[in-house]
């Protein structure tokens, strides 16, 4: 090989390199379109004590403290659309009929026509996009004349529906929980907080909170004020035949329904009860009406210095003094004393 040819072959890569265009990092295209878009940031931070909820289940859209105050938008309302793929059966291919054999015509034969042209192939129509009906709006009354209840206490709602809670007397919440623990807050769940009090229904119009349903799955809520949940103040969205609202309420009452008064503790023990008084002695029997007690003294010589009295009604005593006795006071002495007296 000639020297000139060798030099030309050695310099060929250098010449080609001058024509290569270097791509800077700024020209690279970011290929992350397959990743899910992050959840949009809240338009306005939630009020103190409020949790807006997860975009996967339910979120707070707006809140109004009532009394003609301005409405605060917490999250933008999400427009929910569904794309439905309509399967179209591919029709059978249409084949042209076989051409008839062409025989050489006789001298005066009719002209030969070309075979029929096959129709164009049939293509399925593009997927049809289903436009859902407008989202429904449900209204739920919290507390008020109904007592410790949500009215209604359960709803069947579609994805995209709004649920507006109107807060009446006194001060209640709408807080998300789990089915197994009705009266405990759900991690990452929504919570209205105690910012919507309406004492004695004096706030007109009443405070309101609007939620948007983001999932068709069952969702569970309760009031975290005092022991309201333990008394059955619970709410459910899309309960099922296996997980009913009645079972959810029964769990709340079973787990937190301890509304009885607590026992009194502290202080000294009470003294023992005093023994019962002995029964009173029966009263002494009264002496007979005809008997009158007397008194006397027996003298050393055996005589008796005695006094006796009797009632006026007891004299004369016919059995002792005989018939016809009258006057004076009746009395009697033993016979032996009378004898001693007479002896003296």
Residue 11 has pLDDT above 60, yes or no: yes
Residue 290 has pLDDT above 60, yes or no: no
Q: What is the mean pLDDT of residues 94-107?
A: 69
Dmax (CA) for the chain in angstroms is: 211
Residue 327 has pLDDT above 70, yes or no: no
Q: Is residue 198 part of a domain?
A: yes
Same domain, 339 and 205: no
pLDDT at 163: 98
Instruction: Tokens for 7, please give them.
Output: 């030099």
Same domain, 201 and 339: no
Q: Is residue 172 part of a domain?
A: yes
Lowest mean pLDDT among 40-44, 105-109, 187-191: 40-44
Q: How far apart are CA 221 and CA 207, in angstroms?
A: 18
Number of structural domains, the chain? 2
Q: Is residue 108 part of a domain?
A: no
Cα–Cα distances in Å, from 298 out to 301, 302, 306, 308, 343?
8, 6, 8, 14, 16
Same domain, 149 and 236: yes
Q: Which of these three, 227, 256, 285, is where a domain ends?
A: 256
Q: How confident is the model at residue 98 (pLDDT cuts 50, 70, 90)?
A: confident
Establish whether the linkage from the previous residue to 333 is cis, with ω within 30° of 0.
no
Q: Is residue 36 part of a domain?
A: no
Pairing of strands 234-237, 154-155: parallel
Same domain, 337 and 252: no
Q: Is residue 181 part of a domain?
A: yes
Same domain, 156 and 231: yes
Same domain, 299 and 197: no
CB 314 within 8 A of CB 332: no
Residue 171 has pLDDT above 90, yes or no: yes
Same domain, 220 and 310: no
Mean model confidence pLDDT for the chain: 75
Q: Is residue 301 part of a domain?
A: yes
Same domain, 204 and 136: yes
Q: Is residue 163 part of a domain?
A: yes
Same domain, 307 and 161: no
Q: How confident is the model at residue 135 (pLDDT cuts 50, 70, 90)?
A: confident
pLDDT at 86: 47
CATH assignment of the domain containing 242: 2.60.40.420
Same domain, 163 and 307: no
174: CB partners within 8 A, 6+ apart: 142, 150, 165, 190, 191, 192, 209, 211, 221, 223, 235
Q: What is the mean pLDDT of residues 242-252?
A: 97
Residue 206 has pLDDT above 90, yes or no: yes
Same domain, 300 and 164: no
Whole domain around residue 180: which residue ranges?
A: 58-76+130-256
Same domain, 308 and 169: no
Q: How confident is the model at residue 267 (pLDDT cuts 50, 70, 90)?
A: very low
Q: How far apart are CA 168 and CA 305, in angstroms?
A: 102
Q: Is residue 65 part of a domain?
A: yes
């Amino acid at each position: 090989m000639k020297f000139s040819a060798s030099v030309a072959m050695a310099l060929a890569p250098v010449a080609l390199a001058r024509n290569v265009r270097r791509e800077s990092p700024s020209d690279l295209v970011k290929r992350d379109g397959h990743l899910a878009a992050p959840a949009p940031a809240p338009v306005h931070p939630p009020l103190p004590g409020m949790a807006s909820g997860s975009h996967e289940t339910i979120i707070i859209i707006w809140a109004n403290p009532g009394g003609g105050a301005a409405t605060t938008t917490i999250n933008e309302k999400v427009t929910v659309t569904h794309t439905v793929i309509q399967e179209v059966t591919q029709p059978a291919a249409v084949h042209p009929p076989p051409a008839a054999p062409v025989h050489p015509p006789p001298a005066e034969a009719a002209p030969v026509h070309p075979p029929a042209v096959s129709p164009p192939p049939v293509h399925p129509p593009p997927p049809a996009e289903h436009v859902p009906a407008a989202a429904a709006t449900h209204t739920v009354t919290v507390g008020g004349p109904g007592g410790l209840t949500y009215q209604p206490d359960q709803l069947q709602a579609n994805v995209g529906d709004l649920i507006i809670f109107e807060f009446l007397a006194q001060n209640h919440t709408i807080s998300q929980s789990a089915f197994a623990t009705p009266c405990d807050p759900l991690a990452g769940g929504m919570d209205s907080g105690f910012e919507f009090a309406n004492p004695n229904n004096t706030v007109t119009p009443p405070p309101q909170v609007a939620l948007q349903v983001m999932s068709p799955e069952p969702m569970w809520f309760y009031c975290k004020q005092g022991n309201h949940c333990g008394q059955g103040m619970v709410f459910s969205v899309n309960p099922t035949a296996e997980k009913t609202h009645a079972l959810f309420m029964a769990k709340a009452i079973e787990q937190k329904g301890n509304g009885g008064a607590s026992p009194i503790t502290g202080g000294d023990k009470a003294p023992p009860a005093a023994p019962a008084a002995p029964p009173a002695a029966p009263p002494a029997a009264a002496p007979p009406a005809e008997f009158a007690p007397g008194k006397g003294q027996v003298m050393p010589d055996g005589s008796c210095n005695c006094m006796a009295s009797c009632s006026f009604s007891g004299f004369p005593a016919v059995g002792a003094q005989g018939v016809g006795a009258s006057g004076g006071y009746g009395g009697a002495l033993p016979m032996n004393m009378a004898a001693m007296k007479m002896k003296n």
